[in-house]
Amino acid sequence: MNKTITLITFLLFTTTCLFAQQDKFIEDSIERLENSRKYLLLVADMMPEEKYGYKATDESLSFSENLMHIGYALDWHSQSLIGDREARVYQTDTIFKPANKTKAEMMARIDQTFTEAIALLQDVKPAELDIELDYFGSTRSKRQIYMLLADHITHHRAQMLVSMRLNGLVPPRYVLYQ
């Protein structure tokens, strides 16, 4: 009898710890997105609007294309992969294309997309983190999708930082937004 109670207690404790860790993972991921939003919007604000079309090379995305691509990918990773909403078609989507948008409109769209993504992610249940999805022909868990999303934002934001430097601007210190 004592062994059974001990085993049940151990299993309950282990399960509780596992769910607490997953809840912490969600909290940490949301905090990372909030900090990423602040940093990205600061970077976007620092670049003069007349430089939004700047490309580091002919093959590169422009500053504004990188910004809006981050928004598209944030929307896709959160709403379509994690949230199961039908994906926007990148080639025909106009919400995340910089054409005919002002700097202020692009920044507002990005801010709104972060708000929508964070709201959706706050509703993810810890057990859902282990659900596996198709990700460009590979299988990835929703937990991995969170991490891939953060990497993708960083990748394109870094290209924006290079554009800033090539235009004589000093980007804000990243360490304040980790």
- In whole angstroms, give the CA distance from residue 79 to residue 93: 15
Query: Which backbone phi and psi does 141 adopt, to 5 degrees?
Result: -80, 165
- 155 annotated to bind ligand: no
Between CA 167 and CA 178, with CA 173 as vertex, the angle to 5 degrees is 130
- In whole angstroms, give the CA distance from residue 151 to residue 155: 6
- 77 annotated to bind ligand: no
What is the dihedral sign for C-alpha 140, 144, 146, 148?
negative
- 156 annotated to bind ligand: yes
Annotated binding-site positions: 69, 152, 156
Annotated binding-site positions for a divalent metal cation: 69, 152, 156
